[in-house]
C-alpha cells in the first residue's frame, strides 16, 4: 500500500470500464441510502462473538491478513479480546498503527492548547492557516511533486493530506511525543519511530500493543477534575461550520440530535493496518490491529461484532445536512483528474452524468466509507446507458450524494 491511509484522499487513478465503475458507485450509494446494515442486530455474548469472528477467518486469510487482534473495552471495566490465527500470543506484540498515529499527535496538540502553549486559531502563515485547520484537514494544502502546495484557501474544504497534518509537530522529535502523550497516559507498550518511515512523523510512526492501543482510545473518554473529556476538547477544536461538524484529528459520526455517536480513525501502510474508535454515549472503546494488509470489509465486519458484544446501539438515523436535490444541480469538477460530472434533479431522484474519470472519483469516495456488501437494496437506484455517456439515476437522499461530492474534497462546483 506504500503509505496509503484508510480512509484518505489519494491520487486519482484510472478505473477500468464504464460498467464496473458505475456498478461499484451504485453499490456505495445503495449502502449510503440504506445505512450500511451491520451483520445481525442486538447484543451478543463474548462466546457468540468468538463464533461470529471465527466465521470470518476464511475471509480474513483470503484478504491477505496474516495476523489480526480486535479488542473492546466496555461496561464496568469489561474487556473483550479476539485474535487470529488461533494459538498465537499476539496481545503483547507491537503493531504499526499507521495513520492512527494522527490521533496521538492530536492528543499532544490539545495538551499544548490546554496548557496555554498554543492557540488553535493563531495564524501560522500569511494565508491565515491555523492549527485548527491542520487538525481538521482544512488547511487547503496538498503534497504534490515533492512539496506542499496551496490548492484551496484554508477553512474552505476538507482535504486529507499526510504531510500537511504533519506540520503540527514542527521541529519536535519523537521524545516530545513520548513525554507529552505516552508517559502522561501510562502507555508503556507504545513506541514512536524515528522520522523516515512510510508516513511523515506526526501522521505516522506510532507502534503499540493491542491493549495499549485500546488504553489510548479509552483515555479519550476519561473526565478530568473539571469534568471534561478529551473527546469533548477534540470536538471543540474542530470546525463547527461544516455539515456535519469536523472534529480535530478524528473522523466523526453524528446522530440526528447533534450528538457524537462514534469518533474513529483508521490507517494502513505496506504490511499493516489499524483502527481505533470510541463511543462516548456508551463509554466504549475499540481497537483493531493487523499485519499483512489492511482490508476494509474484514475490519468493518470485525468492528460490527465488537459493537454488538459491547452493546453499542447504532442510531437509526444519523445526522445529515439539510440538502435538497436542486441544491446539487449543476456541473462539478475534480481538480485532481480533470473529470467533470453533471447533476440534475428529477423529482426526488438525482441524475449524475459523467465520464470514466468521474465514475472512478465517485466510486473511490463511496468506498472510503462504505465497505460492506450489498443488502439487497438494488431498487434504490437504476442505471441507464445513453449516447451521451454513462448515467446514474439515484433514488437516494441528496445529502448522501453531497457527501460523495465534497466530503473529501473530491469535487468542486463549477461557477
| pLDDT for the residue numbered 170 | 87
Average pLDDT over residues 141-165: 87
The reply to whether 123 and 70 lie within a common domain is: yes
At 147 the three-state DSSP class reads strand
At 290 the three-state DSSP class reads strand
pTM summary value: 0.72
From 260, 278, 309, the end of a domain falls on 309
> Residue 365 in contact with residue 408, Cβ under 8 Å?
yes
Phi, psi of 187 (to 5 degrees): -95, 80
The reply to whether 148 and 228 lie within a common domain is: yes
The reply to whether 177 and 287 lie within a common domain is: yes
> Using N-to-C axis directions, what is the helix angle for 356-369 and 398-406, rounded to 10°?
100
The reply to whether 232 and 356 lie within a common domain is: no
The reply to whether 103 and 251 lie within a common domain is: yes
List residues bridging with 20 in a β-sheet: none
| pLDDT for the residue numbered 385 | 32
Of the pLDDT bands very low, low, confident and very high (cuts 50, 70, 90), residue 323 is: low
Out of 50-59, 77-86, 328-337, 371-380, pick the least confident: 371-380
Of the pLDDT bands very low, low, confident and very high (cuts 50, 70, 90), residue 89 is: very high
Of the segments 77-81, 155-159, 256-260, which one has the largest average pLDDT value? 77-81
From 277, 309, 341, the end of a domain falls on 309
pLDDT in tens, 25-45: 444 444 433 333 335 567 899
Which cell goes with 107?
A: 492528543
Domain count, the chain: 2
Q: How far, in Å, CA of 60 to CA of 390, rounded?
A: 35
| pLDDT for the residue numbered 324 | 67
List residues bridging with 350 in a β-sheet: 345, 394
Asked if the structure places residue 9 within a domain, the reply is no
Average pLDDT over residues 404-413: 55
Asked if the structure places residue 350 within a domain, the reply is yes
The reply to whether 212 and 74 lie within a common domain is: yes
Asked if the structure places residue 5 within a domain, the reply is no
| pLDDT for the residue numbered 197 | 81
Q: At CB < 8 A and 24+ separation, what contacts does 137-145 make? A: 137/161, 137/164, 137/165, 137/246, 138/239, 138/242, 138/246, 139/164, 139/167, 141/167
> Residue 406 in contact with residue 398, Cβ under 8 Å?
no
Out of 145-159, 202-216, 349-363, 374-388, pick the least confident: 374-388
Using a 10 angstrom Cβ sphere, with 0-12 exposed, 13-18 middle and 19 or more buried, the burial of residue 241 is exposed
Phi, psi of 278 (to 5 degrees): -135, 150
Q: Which residue, 251, 278, 213, is CA-closest to 68? A: 213
Out of 147-156, 171-180, 345-354, pick the least confident: 345-354
> Does 230 have pLDDT greater than 90?
yes
Which residues constitute the domain of residue 341? 20-35+322-413
The reply to whether 304 and 332 lie within a common domain is: no
The reply to whether 104 and 210 lie within a common domain is: yes
Q: Which residue, 167, 137, 147, 168, is CA-closest to 9? A: 137
Instruction: Please name the residue that has the C-alpha cell 474487556.
Output: 79
Out of 32-36, 72-76, 137-141, pick the least confident: 32-36
Amino acid at each position: 500500500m506504500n503509505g496509503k491511509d484508510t480512509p484518505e484522499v489519494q491520487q486519482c487513478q484510472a478505473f477500468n470500464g464504464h460498467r464496473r465503475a458505475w456498478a461499484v458507485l451504485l453499490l456505495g450509494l445503495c449502502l449510503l441510502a440504506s445505512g450500511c446494515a451491520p451483520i445481525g442486530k442486538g447484543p451478543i455474548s463474548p462466546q457468540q462473538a468468538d463464533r461470529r469472528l471465527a466465521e470470518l477467518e476464511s475471509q480474513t486469510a483470503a484478504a491477505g491478513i496474516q495476523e489480526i487482534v480486535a479488542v473492546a473495552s466496555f461496561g464496568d471495566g469489561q474487556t473483550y479480546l479476539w485474535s487470529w490465527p488461533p494459538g498465537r500470543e499476539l496481545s503483547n506484540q507491537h503493531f504499526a498503527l499507521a495513520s492512527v498515529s494522527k490521533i496521538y499527535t492530536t492528543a499532544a496538540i490539545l495538551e499544548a492548547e490546554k496548557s496555554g502553549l498554543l492557540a488553535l486559531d493563531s495564524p501560522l502563515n500569511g494565508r491565515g492557516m491555523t492549527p485548527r485547520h491542520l487538525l481538521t484537514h482544512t488547511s487547503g494544502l496538498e503534497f504534490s511533486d515533492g512539496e506542499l502546495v496551496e490548492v484551496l484557501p484554508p477553512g474552505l474544504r476538507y482535504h486529507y493530506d499526510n504531510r500537511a497534518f504533519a506540520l503540527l509537530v514542527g521541529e519536535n522529535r519523537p521524545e516530545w511525543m513520548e513525554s507529552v502523550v505516552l508517559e502522561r497516559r501510562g502507555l508503556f507498550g507504545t513506541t514512536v519511530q524515528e522520522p523516515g518511515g512510510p508516513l511523515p512523523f506526526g501522521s505516522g510512526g506510532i507502534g503499540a500493543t493491542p491493549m495499549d492501543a485500546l488504553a489510548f482510545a479509552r483515555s479519550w473518554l476519561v473526565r478530568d477534575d473539571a469534568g471534561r473529556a478529551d473527546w469533548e476538547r477534540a470536538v471543540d477544536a474542530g470546525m463547527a461550520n461544516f455539515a456535519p461538524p469536523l472534529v480535530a484529528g478524528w473522523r466523526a459520526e453524528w446522530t440526528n440530535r447533534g450528538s457524537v455517536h462514534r469518533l474513529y480513525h483508521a490507517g494502513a501502510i505496506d504490511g499493516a493496518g489499524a483502527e481505533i474508535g470510541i463511543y462516548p454515549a456508551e463509554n466504549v472503546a475499540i481497537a483493531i490491529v493487523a499485519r499483512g494488509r489492511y482490508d476494509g470489509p474484514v475490519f468493518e465486519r470485525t468492528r460490527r461484532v465488537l459493537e454488538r458484544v459491547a452493546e453499542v446501539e447504532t442510531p437509526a438515523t444519523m445526522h445529515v445536512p439539510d440538502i435538497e436535490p436542486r441544491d446539487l444541480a449543476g456541473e462539478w469538477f475534480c481538480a485532481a483528474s480533470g473529470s467533470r460530472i453533471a447533476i440534475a434533479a428529477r423529482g426526488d431522484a438525482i441524475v449524475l452524468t459523467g465520464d470514466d474519470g468521474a465514475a472512478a472519483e465517485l466510486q473511490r469516495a463511496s468506498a472510503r466509507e462504505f465497505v460492506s456488501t450489498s443488502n439487497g437494496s438494488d431498487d434504490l437506484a437504476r442505471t441507464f446507458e445513453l449516447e451521451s455517456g454513462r448515467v446514474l439515476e439515484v433514488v437516494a437522499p441528496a445529502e448522501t450524494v453531497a457527501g460523495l461530492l465534497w466530503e473529501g474534497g473530491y469535487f468542486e462546483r463549477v461557477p
